[in-house]
Amino acid sequence: MASPVRVLGAIIAGGGSRRFGRPKATTEVGGLAMIDWSLRALVEDVSDVVIVGGDPAVAESRGLGHLVDAAPDGGPLAGLVSALRAATDQGMDGVFALACDMPLVDATVVRELLRHATGDEAVAPLGPRGPEQLCAFYPSAFLGVAEQQLAMSDLSLRAFLGVVPVRTVDVAGITEPAEAEPLLMSVNTPDDALRAEALLSARSRPAEPRAAP
Give the SS3 label for residue 55: coil
d(CA 76, CA 81): 9
- In this predicted structure, what is the pLDDT of residue 180? 76
- pLDDT above 70: percentage of residues in the chain: 89
Q: What is the pLDDT of residues 147-164, one digit of tens each?
A: 999 999 888 999 999 999
Q: Please say if the pLDDT value at position 64 is more than 90.
A: yes
Between 14 and 65, the higher pLDDT residue: 65
Q: Residues 6 or more apart from 198 whose CB is under 8 A from it?
A: none
Helix (H) / strand (E) element for 167: namely strand 166-169
Q: Residues 6 or more apart from 79 whose CB is under 8 A from it?
A: 10, 12, 13, 14, 52, 53, 67, 69, 70, 97
Q: Please say if the pLDDT value at position 73 is more than 70.
A: yes
Q: Among 25-39, 74-88, 100-114, 169-183, whose mean pLDDT is lowest?
A: 169-183
Residue 177's pLDDT band (boundaries 50, 70, 90)? low
Give the SS3 label for residue 108: helix
Give the SS3 label for residue 210: coil
- In this predicted structure, what is the pLDDT of residue 106? 93
Residue 104's nearest CA partner among 204, 190, 2, 206 is 204
CB atoms within 10 A of CB 155: 16
Q: Looking at residues 175-194, what average pLDDT do you find? A: 84
Q: Looking at residues 76-104, what average pLDDT do you find? A: 96
Residue 103's nearest CA partner among 43, 173, 161, 27 is 27
Average pLDDT, rounded, for the chain: 89
Q: Could you give phi then psi for residue 71, rounded to 5 degrees?
A: -150, 140
Exposure of 158 by Cβ count < 10 A (0-12 exposed, 13-18 middle, 19+ buried)? exposed
User: What residue ranges define each of the domains in the chain, with the CATH number in brackets?
Assistant: 7-203 (3.90.550.10)
Between 208 and 3, the higher pLDDT residue: 3
Q: Looking at residues 24-28, what average pLDDT do you find? A: 90
Q: Please say if the pLDDT value at position 182 is more than 90.
A: no
- In this predicted structure, what is the pLDDT of residue 21? 59
